Amino acid sequence: MVKLIHSMLRVSDLERSILFYQQALELNLADRFPFKDFTLVYLKNKESAFELELTFNHSPSEEPVHGNQYGHLAVSVADIDSVHQKLTNLNLQPSKIKCLQWEEQLLATFFFISDPDGYKIEFIERKGRYI
């Protein structure tokens, strides 16, 4: 059976990105591997073994560019309103909280923020499908 272990994002400012993910997603530094040309950083929290890998090229030949096929990361939270307020207080500019209905049932209550490199992160309240 396959086990998901991490998702990787290429970042332009490693320390800024680490701070962002510590504040926004409450992720902690799990490992840091500095190589000659790049550094790999792994972040996680006690809620899940799944990690976020940040890759930073020391001398990038070009800025990271999002392809038109990029989607988003998603996390679940117990209280969408309090998390939205926290991120607003951190000036992370969360979008408005929205509800998605399917066949007259609530599928998701959610909002998005963007990280320093423009990657979208969806916050979904733990209800129904997303417990």
User: Alpha helices of the chain — where are they, by DSSP H?
Assistant: 14-25, 80-89
| Catalytic residue ranges | 122
Q: Are 53 and 9 in contact (CB under 8 A)?
A: yes
Rounded CA-CA distance 116/24 in Å is 11
Give the burial class of 1: count Cβ atoms within 10 A of its Cβ; 0-12 exposed, 13-18 middle, 19 or more buried.
exposed
What is the b/e burial string over 45-84, where b = at least 16 CB atoms within 10 angstroms of the residue's CB? beeeeebbbbebeeeeeeeeeeeeeeeeeebbbeebeebb
Rounded CA-CA distance 95/41 in Å is 27
